[in-house]
Amino acid sequence: MTTWLEVAQAVVVFLPTVLFGYFMSIVDIFTKRPKSMVGKIVVITGGASGIGREVAQMFANIGAKIALLDINTELNEKTANEINENAGLAVAFTVDVTKPDKMREVALRVQQHKQLGDPDMVICNAGILWPKGILEQSDDDIRRTMDINLMGYFWTIRAFLPRMLERNSGHIAAISSVSGYFGNTNSSSYSASKFAVRGLMESLEWELYDTRKHGVKVTTVYPFFTRTPLLAHCNVQSRIFQPLSVEQTAQTIVDAILFEKVEAYTSPLVSFWCNGLKATAPQRVKEAFKCLIDVQYK
């Protein structure tokens, strides 16, 4: 049984650590600089189009070597060619992220590729969205959403993480969504997958911490709705918010990774919405905000 003396001793150790943590966080705001990506190897799933494509081009523009992983061979090679024509370096790999054996194979191919090597960064980005009610989705719709949006992240991380752990160096980033904090009408499977990504990445963060693999960083980004091919077959509307451009969301992702943020949001308002409102507001207040924002999948 814990004694009061033991509790007091724990608090004495705890408080200075917390105060130091807050102090260093403030110092980081004014002193931290983006890390260099020159010559670094970046793997991006879902890199053929949309946010993945834009992120790939942004990293290529600052000197990174890009491995594009996508199931769409034609679009993936087109994106790689565009980067190469602009004096970057990109290699396209066709792969289905829902197949763990194929992900292990492609990880080996990236590592052994003469122009690439051990990845310094892996960005889990592949995703799909079916804007249907829970009873309107087919069994396959739900399974496919979970396979790509969640299990694809597991298989990607498990394929590339071992070499990062061996080197105690690397960066795993995951693209979640504000839907990883808020469920909504006609987004049950999508929101469930993005909630799960949040849990996956937070667990990975503490696993790396407890195993003292401090050289491997993690970042989870929670974008607001973005005009990408993901929304091509549906119409997402809000009373007061407009969907972001691909460039805006991609820049948030790139900045978050370069500054090694553990979590990032597309704006302070979205951060408040996800953290402050979700955690503290009573139900009637949440209902009022829902009516004000009025996000609808159609």
For residue 233, what are the contacts with CB-CB under 8 A and spacing of at least 6?
131
Residue type present at position 48 = A
Please provide residue 142's backbone torsions phi and psi, each rounded to the nearest 5 degrees.
-65, -45
Catalytic residues: 190
Distance CA 38, CA 55 (A): 15
Question: 237: buried, middle or exposed (CB in 10 Å: 19+, 13-18, 0-12)?
Answer: middle
What φ, ψ does residue 264 adopt, rounded to 5°? Answer: -150, 150
- With CA atoms as reference, report the closest residue to 77 among 69, 283, 288, 181: 69
What residue has token string 């034609």?
74
Q: Helices in the chain by DSSP H: which ranges?
A: 4-31, 50-61, 73-85, 100-112, 139-146, 152-167, 188-210, 246-258, 268-271, 278-280, 283-293
Quote the CA–CA distance of 235 and 156 in Å, as a whole number. 29
